[in-house]
Amino acid sequence: MPASPLSVGVVFGGASGEHAVSIRSAATVVGALRRGDNADRYRLSCFYIDRQGRWWPPAVAEAVLSRGLPAEAADLPAPAGPPGFRGFPEGALNVEVWYPVLHGPNGEDGTIQGLFTLMGVPFVGSGVLGSAVGMDKQAMKAAFAAAGLPQVPYVCVEAAELADATVEALLDRLVQQLGFPCFVKPANMGSSVGISKATDRASLLAGLREAAALDPRLVVEQGVKARELECAVLGSRTLEASVLGEICFEADWYDYTTKYSEGLSHTVIPARVPDAVADRARTLAITACRAVAASGLARVDFFYDEASADLWINEINTLPGFTSQSMYPMLWAASGVPLETLVHRLLQGARESAGQTVPDAEAP
């Protein structure tokens, strides 16, 4: 154990559509870092980024965590200042390791990772390249294809193709290549934000316009009737894969409401699949991480057709959720790594990736 506690900065919130989910994830991470041996290992400071991208000090961050809700203007000290990053709040420059708990653009896409890299301070999770490629579904799918990983048929679309002069040709191409049902996704969002299911030309066009309002880069995927499996990956220099989990739900598909509402979905861990399928998924999960240069932590999602035994990679998430309903910590708990140990290993892995000596890396 270190002679003195390590200064850790947990940053959460962010200027993205997944702001509220980030707060819930951060509450779980902070709780784990303040329990058991971690309370002696780490000196924790929390920092909140509001929806306008402004950074706030620990007093504000703790209040947001306590409420569990995004801060409104009335909740923030005045004057708030202009939107955007205007420098670190008090205490941030003393942080020795950063733990970003940010989902979506401006936190999971390589931007904040670039900031920490320029500062020369270790941080949990993938670097700039892995974060950026893992966030953008077009780039991610291209990397998976180059690595020969199995994927469902898909088409990349640019928002400019929705112009009046070209939209009908676009719809014709998508219907011909993918058919119905299909799913429309913004390339740079997570937590199912902006995703829609299309069952005819009208719903396809509506879904494209909805996604284009969030991101100029879109992906349209062929719908498949399959089970949804997930695998967690952990490690910096050496990657480890967890047991598999399955997401079960009664809804038509796994949308945002189903994902984050109590009682609308449940998990089965370990997933009830043949050992050969589980082994193949774990191997593919690690290969997927290497394909996009992901490290630290990642969750790889799969579609599994039980009848044909086909296994397709759906996507990778390089900063997966840590809420009470999130698969990533539950998968590791089922693999023998409880939450408190998991966050400890993630912080130690961040230091290892930065070339720092980690005297207590083997501590449970």
Number of Cβ atoms within 10 Å of the Cβ of 210? 15
Number of Cβ atoms within 10 Å of the Cβ of 37? 14
Q: Which two tokens stand for residue 108?
A: 């999971």
Please state the rounded mean pLDDT for residues 119-145. 97
pLDDT at residue 86, as a whole number: 85
Q: How would you classify residue 81: left for phi > 0, otherwise alpha for psi between -120 and 50, otherwise beta? A: left
Report yes or no: 318 and 135 within 8 Å, Cβ to Cβ.
yes
Of 106-110, 260-264, 338-342, which gets the smallest average pLDDT?
Answer: 260-264
- 362 falls in which pLDDT band (50, 70, 90)? very low
Q: Would the pLDDT of 364 be above 90?
A: no
Q: What percent of the chain has pLDDT over 70?
A: 91
pLDDT at residue 227, as a whole number: 93
pLDDT at residue 150, as a whole number: 98
Question: DSSP for 299-343?
Answer: EEEEEEETTTTEEEEEEEESS---STT-HHHHHHHHTT--HHHHH
- 361 falls in which pLDDT band (50, 70, 90)? very low
Does CATH number 3.30.470.20 belong to domain 135-150+225-318? Answer: yes
Q: Would the pLDDT of 341 be above 90?
A: yes
- φ/ψ of 264, rounded to 5, equals -95, -10
Tens of pLDDT, residue by residue over 282-306, are: 999 999 999 999 999 999 999 999 9
Q: Would the pLDDT of 1 be above 60?
A: no
- 359 falls in which pLDDT band (50, 70, 90)? low
pLDDT at residue 262, as a whole number: 62
Whether the domain at 6-124 and the domain at 154-222 fall into the same CATH topology: no
Amino acid (1-letter code) at residue 1: M
Q: Which residues contact 168 (CB under 8 A, 6 or more apart)?
A: none
Please state the rounded mean pLDDT for residues 203-226. 95
CA dihedral 221, 196, 51, 330 (to 10 degrees): -70
Please state the rounded mean pLDDT for residues 261-273. 81
CB burial readout 300-317, b (16+ within 10 A) else e: bbbbbeeeeeebbbbbbb
Average pLDDT of every residue of the chain: 92
Tens of pLDDT, residue by residue over 17-60, are: 889 999 999 999 999 999 999 999 999 999 999 999 999 999 99
Q: Domain map of the chain by residue range?
A: 6-124, 135-150+225-318, 154-222
The CATH T-level fold of domain 6-124 is Rossmann fold (3.40.50)
H or E stretch covering 225: none
304 strand-pairing partners: 227, 311
Choosing among 3.30.420.40, 1.20.1560.10, 2.60.40.10, 3.30.1490.20, the CATH entry for 154-222 is 3.30.1490.20
44 strand-pairing partners: 8
| Alpha-carbon distances, residue 211 vs 19, 61, 184, 249 (angstroms) | 18, 31, 7, 24
pLDDT at residue 264, as a whole number: 55
pLDDT at residue 276, as a whole number: 97
- 324 falls in which pLDDT band (50, 70, 90)? confident
Tens of pLDDT, residue by residue over 244-254, are: 999 986 655 55
Q: Would the pLDDT of 358 be above 90?
A: no
pLDDT at residue 109, as a whole number: 94
Tens of pLDDT, residue by residue over 80-98, are: 788 888 889 999 999 999 9
Amino acid (1-letter code) at residue 318: T
Please state the rounded mean pLDDT for residues 183-201. 86
